[in-house]
A = this chain, B = another copy of it.
Amino acid sequence: MRPTLQTVADVVGVSRSTVSNAYSKPDQLSPELRERILDTARDLGYAGPNPAARSLRKGRVGAIGILFSATLSYAFTDPYAVQFLRGVAEMAERHETGLLLMPLSDGDSVSAAVDNAVVDGFCIYCLPDWHASWDAVRARNLPIVVAERRDEGHPDARYVGIDEAAATRNAGRHITGFGHRQVALIADWIITERETRPVAVGEVAELPYYVTRERFAGYRDALTEAGIDWSDVLTINAAQNSRAAGAEAAAYALDRSPRATAIMAVSDQLALGVLDALAERGLQPGRDVSVVGFDDIADAAGARLTTISQPALEKGRIAGGLLLDPPDDPAEGRVVLPTRLVVRASTGPAPH
């Protein structure tokens, strides 16, 4: 049998409290005794206090669950996601807390994973509205921080996000100010299917994913203000949030007549793909076709991409802080961070 605290206590001839103290409260007993206990434990092959038991007793686990929709590798491949998670990880580190990545498959086990997660709270991020795990998470009755989305179904949920629509509204005005009329929008999750193709604006009315929905709403506002008919806007679904998918999606806007003179993407990854597509066709960004991204990831500056900068790292830090060090005032549990339109060379006046 594996040795336990009790085993060690018996061998040393002390009570279990004392052994426990030897591990958790070194200053509660004499150094010699502590030494003796630790030595015996080592000889016995005692592995130290069982974390599950400790968690049960203390009511604290020392880990938070990270929930997102996609596969591990995909989520971490996105520079924005990486920054966000780095922020969360920073706070976690500071609080000596682990990050439990939960593989969310699509079957029944979605809920099982959430149900069994040994965590003190959940950080949800990039989880489409339709995903089954939302209910499972709420049922757990643990602190929740949602990034990128207000959780209407859970009014007390802490939240850190940005004003998505305001950000794109602003960017949209930048574009319409340049006189663009032939506009295309690229996003993943316009539809739940993972395929790259134009999607009729009718479908777009009920975007299933909060972030895309809001960002499109902002663009819609700006374009409509400028007298552009929303139904004239070409909206293209990208199979995923990747550079390649962005390039593929851009083809639909570039290889038709009239060609789009401005292409806005909901992420820099996609927008970089659009730039790739331009380069392939010998088109110059900002002159022949204007391109706008979102996120202001590291590569955006080098690519001279006009984009909307959002503080991903800070967002992660705040999400982590909200979870690990909750504010007394619930009002402080809802944080909206600023965004900024970063104008670079990829946008300019519409060609005649």
Interface residues of A (CB under 8 A from B): 2, 45, 47-56, 61-63, 65, 71-73, 76-77, 82-83, 85-86, 89, 92-93, 96-103, 105, 109, 112-113, 115-119, 139-142
Please tell me if the beta carbons of A140 and B72 are within 8 angstroms of each other in the complex.
Answer: no
* Complex alpha-carbon distance, A189 and B51, angstroms: 33
A61 partner residues in chain B, CB cutoff 8 A:
52, 118
A56 partner residues in chain B, CB cutoff 8 A:
50, 52-53, 56
A219 to chain B, nearest CB (A): 30
Please tell me if the beta carbons of A98 and B103 are within 8 angstroms of each other in the complex.
Answer: yes
Most buried by B among A48, A63, A65, A77: A63
A98 partner residues in chain B, CB cutoff 8 A:
65, 100-103, 113, 117
A105 partner residues in chain B, CB cutoff 8 A:
93
Please tell me if the beta carbons of B141 and A54 are within 8 angstroms of each other in the complex.
Answer: no
Q: Which of B54, B65, B86 contacts A72 (CB 8 A)?
A: B86
A50 partner residues in chain B, CB cutoff 8 A:
56
Please tell me if the beta carbons of A63 and B139 are within 8 angstroms of each other in the complex.
Answer: no
Please tell me if the beta carbons of B103 and A100 are within 8 angstroms of each other in the complex.
Answer: no
* Complex alpha-carbon distance, A93 and B109, angstroms: 9
Q: Which of B48, B72, B109, B118 contacts A51 (CB 8 A)?
A: B118
A62 partner residues in chain B, CB cutoff 8 A:
116-118
Please tell me if the beta carbons of A71 and B47 are within 8 angstroms of each other in the complex.
Answer: no
* Complex alpha-carbon distance, A141 and B47, angstroms: 6
* Complex alpha-carbon distance, A85 and B53, angstroms: 29
Please tell me if the beta carbons of B45 and A141 are within 8 angstroms of each other in the complex.
Answer: yes
Please tell me if the beta carbons of B96 and A113 are within 8 angstroms of each other in the complex.
Answer: yes
A102 partner residues in chain B, CB cutoff 8 A:
98-99
A97 partner residues in chain B, CB cutoff 8 A:
103
